[in-house]
Each structure stands twice: as C-alpha cells, then as structure tokens.
Chain A
Amino acid sequence: MSQFEGNFDDFGMDTISLAGPLEAKLAAIREAGFSQVMLAARDLVGHADGWQAAVAAVRASGLRVTGFQVLRDFEGLSGHLHEYKVDIAKSMLEMCHALDCRLLLACSSTSVHASSEADALVGDLRKLAMLAIPMNIKIAYEALSWGRTINEYPQAWDIVAQADMPNLGLGFDSFHMFATNTPLDELELIDPRKLFLVQLADFMWNEIKSVEERMATARHFRVFPGEGVHSQDLAALVLKLHQLGYRGDYSFEVFNDDYQQIPLPTVAQRARRSALWLGESVLRRSVPLPNRIRLKQRVRV
C-alpha cells in the first residue's frame, strides 16, 4: 500500500462493524488507512477500565471522531418521560464532549408514547440543539425507516428546517432511503450545509417487504458499499451528494453478524476496498489531490 494510494480521508468506519475491545477496533481501522471513526456510546461505557479510559484510547489512536451515536426516541415525549430523556441526552452530550467529538447522532423516535405533532417534535429538537450549543456539538437528526412518525429523510428535513437551529442538521443513512424506496431527487430540496453526516451501507437483497424484515436487515445483514446489490444506487447517491455540494464525512454504517466473527483486519480491509471504490472509481478523485498537503498516512508505533 503506497502513501499515494487511498484518497478517502472523508470516509470512515464505524465501530459497530467490528468485534472485540475498543483498542483492537481502533488499531484495525487505523491500519487499514482510515483517519476517522464513528463511535457508539457502548464503546465508552463498556470499556473494561471505564469510559474515561476509552476516551484516552480514542485520543491515543489519532483517529478523528466522525460522530457519536446514538440518542434514541428523544423527541415527542412529555412529562416525566421527557425529563428522563433530557437527562439521557445530557449524558450522551457529556461523553461526546469528552471525546472532542462535534457531532451527536439522534434518530427519529419509534416510541408509541411519543407525540406525532410536528410542533412537539420541533420544540424538542430545538431544546436538544440548545443543550448542545455550549459544548460545541452539532446534532444530526436521522429518519429511521421504522420511526413512528418520521421515517423518511424528507420528513426529517422538514422538522430540521422548521426547528431552524444553526447546530441542528440532517443525518442521512442510505440504508433507510433504499429500504423505503425514497426518491433520490428529494435530496435536491436539502441545503447541503445542513447535511451533517452521511452514513452508507449496502445490503444483499433487492427488496424488503415488511417493517420486521427491514429492521432485521438493518441490524444484521448490511454490507459495505460495493458488496451488495445496491452498488449502482450507492454510486449514484454519492455522486448526487457531491454534485449538490456535500463535502462532509461519509461513514460506513454496516451492522453485520458475519463481520462480528471474522478477524478485525479482514473486515477493515473490506471497508478499505469500499472506500477506494467510492473515492477513486465513483468520485474519480486524482491521487494525490493537487495542491494538497499530505502527511504520511500510516504511522508505525
């Protein structure tokens, strides 16, 4: 692997694709040439030496933290449920802040206790964004395809636009878009500056028939872009986003039970192949980019 190969600094892996302890995941991601990693709260609180040790391990890895996930079922609750979720959100924000991470992912509520009223959702997301301001954290709001009220990205965008907070934007997951067959053209309505994160994943079947199958696929059978049957759609999506002016991060949101039982470097190499395909074949970047200062990518410790 030459230092001139691999122009994919804006692509990152997600720890949920890998098994094992946090340090091993970070090392594998780093070894495969990635410069950023998407972390889950579990990575921190599940660390054998406590969450501060996990924060130290992340800092020591030199990897940039793409984002921190995931705050669930936050919006639309009232009374004591709302108070409870605000406390959870604060804990998530504190961990995110400790990581120097600037992005918290919040996904649309699946709770039957949550209101469906747009005003309530907007008000709660404004509050969440306000909580994040002193900590310099942005909130990426993502439509889960099995969300109760918000389950397609155009709906999530409506809520984000109505909330109108500078640090509240859209988190976009290709899986959910493909699962609900939401048209790509709807992306044109979105302000690319308010698109805070794009998560990419492919999967192996052409069609998902039920919501149950959708959840099972999302949680167990995703693969890296280029490995499934939606590669051409993914390529079209990435090109479209680039065309619209999106220059933020892409993270591989790949939940896969098989990847959980094969060696970490093997999985990381698959992710690398995927990043190379998107960066060099799809986006046709020259390597290295002209006029760009490059540090050597791999630092042997």
Chain B
Amino acid sequence: MSPRQATAAERESVDEGPNPLGLDGIEFIEYATSKPQALGQVLERMGFRPISRHRSREVLLYRQGDINVIVNAHSSGSALTEQPVINAIALRVRDAGAAYRRALERGAWAVPARVEVMELNIPAIHGAGTSRIYLVDRYREFSIYDVDFTPIPTVDPHPPAVAGLHFFGIVQYIGNDRTEDWNEFYATLFGFQAVPDAQRFGILPKGRILQSPCDGFFLQLIEPEPGVLDIDDDECLQRIGLGAPDVPAATEALRARGVEFVAVVGDPAELRGALTRTAMGSVTFELVHNLRAA
C-alpha cells in the first residue's frame, strides 16, 4: 500500500461554515414526460417561453425571468410516463466537482453520466424517488445551455417573468416517518436547515420546511396524512413553488392567461398563497408571497 497523503481534515478540524458548497439557488428544474408538447402548453400558460433545444436529445428549455424549466422527453432506459414528473433539480454551487466529491464522501449515490461528445458532464446524485440532483457551477459568465442547447431562432432568450415570478421552492412528498431522514439528507449533503414550525409560507401549513444555506429557496417535506399507511413508497418531488411579490396581481395575470386556481389562502386583497389546478394529472404550481431577497 502506498503511503497516503494526510488530508487537512486529519490535521485540524476547520468549520465549513453554514454554506459549505457555496450553494446559490436553483439553476433549473426538469420534468420528464412522453407528452412534451402538452406540458409545453401548460408551461406557456404559466408564462414560460421555449428558448432552446438540446443538441442531441428531445429536450427543451423553457424560461421566464430567471426560472429555467427543462422538459425532457428523451427516454433513456426507464419508460417515460404521460404524466409529467419532476425528475431533477439542478443546484447552483461554487465548484460542481468539489461539491460532487463532498456529497459522495458523505454517502450520496452517484448517477452515472450519459453524455454525448462535446456535451457537458454535469455531476448528479440520486434524490427523492427516481429524481436526481444536478450540481452546476457554470451560471455566471456563460451557462450550461450555451454548450448543450441550440437557441430557437427569433425567440427572445430572456423573456420577462409574469408578475415578478421567481423560484421559491419545491414540495417533496415523503413516506411515513421520513421527515427526519430527509431533513438529515439535505442538511448533511447541502447545509439546509429546518425553519421553526411556526414559520410557514404558501398554501399548506404542514410538513417540515428546510431553508437553503444561500437563503435562496425552500424545500417542504410532506408526509402522508395520519392513518394513511400504504402509500409510503411514493416519494417524489411534487410541485414547484414560485415566489410572487404580489400574489393577487400574479393570480390575476395568470388567470388572464388561462390558468385556473383551486386554492387560495388569505384575504382576497392580500393573498398569501395560491395553488393552480392540476394539469395533465400531475402538474401544479404553488404561488407564495415573497419579496425576492436578491
């Protein structure tokens, strides 16, 4: 056995600080579906615009403001379902390679990369259910889309967001008694912290809310209702939460675009949150009152 280099961690223990990966928000959220056009229509009603196409796969990038949503209809191994599922979140980090190695060291599962020539190898780990978590560090000077995607001609690559919408968070459905497990997962791998139970946003005052160490977004973990025992295998990323500085204005603007809402919370003049009617059997968005920190 060759002599091993002593790592710094063996000489001194240095506190990594609250944001060890330099987490800096969500780069994109990806849906997988065998009905990409139908999902595209749902997204366009929500204010998204198709921006560019993947070079080698049936994958489209939609955008509004700085929210990127990817629609993946490229079946790779596992069969796609008509009902869209959120199959990936991409997190912005300081150094994707370092963040990836740090996560694996702490017990994350690596997702084997399947890249074509001249495409970016974006590291990913397994997340809830069949979803994965990408780690992206190219989002400032140039973006991952510059490499892997071809712009759709004549389309504005930076369409403004409807009513100031921005990423607010993700709702994750988890199994019975799984809150502590997933809390530990996000805390250990990324530095998320639980917010006090009294602090709640949006439409659902339940579950556990985790705040990202960059203060940029939230994860809400929701267990089945008490007494429901047999669905604990269904763990998934359930919906996207979008922040809006003025929820009534946002719901009005979206209603005008054909979006229906099933639940609104708060006084009509001062809404705190709203939930869109589920489309395609699974796609729903939650609006949450939020003045963007940035």
Residues of A within 8 A of B (CB): 78-79, 90, 100, 126-131, 133-134, 136, 165-167
From A78, A100, A126, A133, give the contact of B181 (CB < 8 A): A133
B175 CB contacts on chain A under 8 angstroms: 136
Residues of chain B in range 106-149 having any CB-CB distance to chain A below 8 Å: 106-109, 126-128
Task: Verify A131–B107 contact, CB threshold 8 A.
Answer: yes
CA distance A165 to B235 in the complex (A): 20
A79–B1 CB distance below 8 A: yes
Q: Name the interface residues of B1-36: CB closer than 8 Å to any CB of A.
A: 1, 4
Tell me, yes or no, whether B182 is within 8 Å of chain A by CB. yes
Minimum CB–CB distance from A260 to chain B (whole Å) comes to 36
Residues of B contacting A133 in the complex (Cβ-Cβ under 8 angstroms): 107, 181-182, 184-185
What residues of chain B lie closer than 8 Å to A136, measured between beta carbons? 175, 178, 181, 232-233, 235
Q: Tell me, yes or no, whether B225 is within 8 Å of chain A by CB.
A: no
Q: Are A167 and B181 in contact (CB under 8 A)?
A: yes
7 pairs, CB–CB < 8 Å, chain A vs chain B: A127-B107, A128-B107, A134-B128, A136-B235, A165-B184, A166-B184, A167-B181
Closest to A137 in B: B181
Contact A134 B126 (CB under 8 A): yes
Having A126-B188, A130-B185, one finds 6 other A-B pairs with CB under 8 Å, namely A129-B107, A131-B109, A133-B185, A166-B181, A166-B183, A167-B184
Instruction: Select one of A78, A126, A134 contacting B109, CB under 8 A.
Output: A134
Count chain A CB atoms within 10 A of each CB in B109, B126, B189 and give the residue with the most. B109
Task: List residues of chain A with CB within 8 A of the CB of B185.
Answer: 130, 133-134
Best-buried of B1, B107, B178, B233 by chain A (most CB within 10 Å): B107
B197, CB-defined interface residue at 8 Å: no
Minimal Cβ-Cβ distance residue in A for B108 = A130
Q: Which residues of A contact B267 (CB under 8 A)?
A: none
Once A127-B107, A133-B182 are accepted as A-B contacts, the answer to whether A79 and B4 lie under 8 Å apart by CB is: yes
For A165, list chain B residues within 8 Å (CB): 184
> Given A90-B109, A136-B235, are A130 and B128 also a contact pair (CB < 8 Å)?
no
CA distance A199 to B34 in the complex (A): 48
Question: Which residue in chain B gives the minimum CB-CB distance to A81?
Answer: B1
With the chains together, A133 CA to B178 CA distance in Å? Answer: 9
**Shortest distance between the CB of A293 and any CB in chain B (Å):** 13
Closest B residue by C-beta to A93: B109
Q: Which of B4, B181, B183, B189 has the most CB of A within 10 A?
A: B181
Residues on the B chain within 8 Å of A78, using CB: 4
Chain A residues closer than 8 Å to B107, beta-carbon distance: 126-131, 133
Asked if A166 and B180 sit within 8 Å, CB to CB, the answer is yes
Residue-wise interface mask of B (174-196) relative to A, using a CB-CB cutoff of 8 A (1 in contact, 0 not): 01001011111100110000000
Complex CA–CA separation, A128 to B108 (angstroms): 10
Distance A128 CA – B178 CA, assembled complex (angstroms): 17
CA distance A90 to B126 in the complex (A): 13
Q: How far is the CB of A255 from chain B (nearest CB, A)?
A: 31
Bound form: Cα–Cα A78–B3 in Å: 12
Given contacts A90-B109, A136-B175, A136-B178, contact A130 B188 (CB under 8 A): yes
Residues of B within 8 A of A166 (CB): 180-181, 183-184
The residues of A that contact B235 with a CB separation of less than 8 Å are 136
A-chain residues with CB within 8 Å of residue B189 when the two chains form the complex:
130
Nearest CB in chain B: distance from A237 CB, A: 26
Closest A residue by C-beta to B125: A134
Residues of B within 8 A of A167 (CB): 180-181, 184
Which residue of A is nearest B188, CB measured? A130
Which residues B150-196 have CB closer than 8 A to chain A? 175, 178, 180-185, 188-189
What residues on A are CB-neighbors of B183 within 8 Å? 166
Per-residue contact bits, chain B 91-113, to A (CB 8 Å; 1 contact, 0 not): 00000000000000111110000
Task: Tell me which residues across on chain B come within 8 A of A127, comparing CB atoms.
Answer: 105-107
8 closest A-B pairs by beta carbon, nearest first, are A130-B107, A166-B180, A127-B107, A131-B107, A133-B181, A133-B185, A166-B181, A134-B126
Residues of A within 8 A of B182 (CB): 133
Q: Which residue of A lies closest to B174 (CB)?
A: A136
Beta-carbon contact of B127 and A134 below 8 Å: yes
* A168 nearest in chain B by CB position: B184
**Taking A165-B184, A166-B180, A167-B181 as contacts, is the C-beta distance between A130 and B106 under 8 angstroms?**
yes
> How near does chain A come to B174, taking the closest CB pair, in angstroms?
9
Residues of A within 8 Å of B232, CB to CB, are 136
Task: Find the B residue at minimum CB distance from A129.
Answer: B107
Find chain B residues with CB under 8 A from A79 CB: 1, 4
